[in-house]
C-alpha cells in the first residue's frame, strides 16, 4: 500500500499528502510510509483536516506516545494532550499560548528526550499574515565546510527552556515567567550539535536560537560567535519553507531535522487559534 499522493512544497522542505482519510486508523504499513516521508521531507501538510480534538489525538497517537506541555496552563481543558496556541480572548482570558514560537526553535530540544514530531491544526487564521517558517537542518548541515562539520561533530551544546522566557518573552505580560516548579522540570540539558536521524540515517544540525545557550566545555566568549554563525547559516533563505495557513490545515513536522518560527506579522485583534499535539521522541545521538 502506498500513500495516495505526495507533492513537494518547496526545494527546501515540505510535502503535501492527499488522498488519505485521516479520521480513520491508517494501518501499520501506511503509518510506516508516513514516518519515512516525514523523515525525508521534514514536514507533511494535510489540507482540509476537519478533526475534533479526539480525532486529532487519535491520528497523532498512531505515530507514537503523546506528551503534555510542561506549561499546563495552555493545555486544552479535558484534553491535556493538546497544547492550545491562540490569541483569542474570552471572558477576559486568553485561551492559549499567545506569542508562541515567535523565534527559531525545535520543540522540546531542552528535554533529555526531545519531541520526535508535532502536529499543529489550524482552526482560525487571519486572512493576511500569521505564516510559519521551517528550516531544513539537513541542508544546513550539508552546506557547512568539512572543517566546520569535523569541528562540531564531536561537540555537545546546552539547551535551556528558560532562555525563551528570559529573552523572547521577558517583556510580555501575557507570558509570565516560569514558576520554580516549571524550571525544576526543565533543567538545562546537553545535546549533540549534529544529530543523526533515526529513520533516514542522515545528519542534521541540531542547535536553535530559542533554546541553545552554549557549547559544552567552552566559555561564552568562545561559544557564542560559533552559535551565532550557525544560527545565521541555518536560516538562509534557500533552507526555508514558509507556509501560508488555511483553516483546517494540519502540519506534521519533524523536530529531529527541522526548526521553525511563527511570524508575528498580523493584526493581533484578528483571531488566530490552533491546536498542537506532541509526539514523544528519543535521546539524540
Catalytic residues: 105, 107, 260, 276
Are residues 121 and 44 in contact, defined by beta-carbon separation less than 8 angstroms?
no
How far apart are alpha carbons 139 and 135 in whole angstroms?
9
Beta bridge partners of 196: 203
**Phi/psi of residue 51, each to 5°?**
-105, 135
CA 280 centroid distance within chain: 12
CB neighbours of residue 64 within 10 Å: 17
Please enumerate in sequence order all residues whose Cβ is within 8 A of that of 167, keeping only pairs 6 or more positions apart, or say none. none
In 3D space, the residue among 226, 233, 211, 224 whose CA is nearest the CA of residue 103 turns out to be 211
How far apart are alpha carbons 252 and 45 in whole angstroms?
7
CA 209 centroid distance within chain: 13
Q: Which cell is 224 given?
A: 557564542
Q: Which cell is 280 given?
A: 514523544
Please enumerate in sequence order all residues whose Cβ is within 8 A of that of 51, keeping only pairs 6 or more positions apart, or say none. 22, 23, 59, 121, 250
Give DSSP secondary structure letters for 2-15.
--SEEEE--SSS-E
How far apart are alpha carbons 27 and 112 in whole angstroms?
30
89 sits in which H/E element: strand 89-90
Amino acid at each position: 500500500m502506498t500513500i495516495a499522493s505526495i507533492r513537494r512544497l518547496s526545494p527546501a522542505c515540505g510535502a503535501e499528502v492527499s488522498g488519505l482519510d485521516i479520521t480513520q486508523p491508517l494501518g501499520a504499513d501506511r503509518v510506516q510510509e508516513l514516518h519515512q516521508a516525514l523523515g525525508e521531507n521534514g514536514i507533511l501538510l494535510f489540507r482540509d483536516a476537519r478533526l475534533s480534538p479526539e480525532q486529532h489525538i487519535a491520528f497523532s497517537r498512531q505515530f507514537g506516545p503523546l506528551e503534555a506541555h510542561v506549561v499546563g496552563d495552555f493545555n486544552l481543558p479535558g484534553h491535556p494532550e493538546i497544547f492550545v496556541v491562540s490569541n483569542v480572548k474570552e471572558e477576559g482570558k486568553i485561551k492559549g499560548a499567545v506569542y508562541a514560537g515567535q523565534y527559531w526553535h525545535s520543540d522540546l530540544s531542552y528535554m533529555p528526550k526531545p519531541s520526535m514530531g508535532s502536529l499543529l491544526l489550524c482552526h482560525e487564521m487571519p486572512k493576511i499574515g500569521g505564516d510559519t517558517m521551517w528550516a531544513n537542518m539537513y541542508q544546513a548541515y550539508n552546506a557547512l565546510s568539512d572543517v566546520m562539520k569535523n569541528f562540531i561533530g564531536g561537540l555537545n551544546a546546552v539547551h535551556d527552556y528558560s532562555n525563551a522566557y528570559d529573552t523572547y518573552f521577558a517583556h510580555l505580560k501575557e507570558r509570565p515567567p516560569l514558576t520554580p516548579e516549571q524550571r525544576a522540570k526543565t533543567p538545562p540539558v546537553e545535546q549533540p550539535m549534529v544529530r543523526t536521524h533515526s529513520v533516514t540515517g542522515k545528519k542534521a544540525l541540531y542547535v536553535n536560537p530559542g533554546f541553545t545557550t552554549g557549547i559544552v566545555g567552552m566559555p561564552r566568549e568562545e561559544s557564542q560567535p560559533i552559535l551565532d554563525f550557525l544560527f545565521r547559516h541555518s536560516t538562509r533563505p534557500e533552507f526555508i519553507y514558509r507556509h501560508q495557513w488555511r483553516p483546517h490545515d494540519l502540519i506534521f513536522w519533524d523536530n529531529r531535522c527541522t526548526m521553525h518560527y511563527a511570524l508575528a506579522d498580523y493584526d493581533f485583534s484578528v483571531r488566530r487559534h490552533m491546536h498542537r499535539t506532541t509526539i514523544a521522541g528519543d535521546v539524540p545521538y
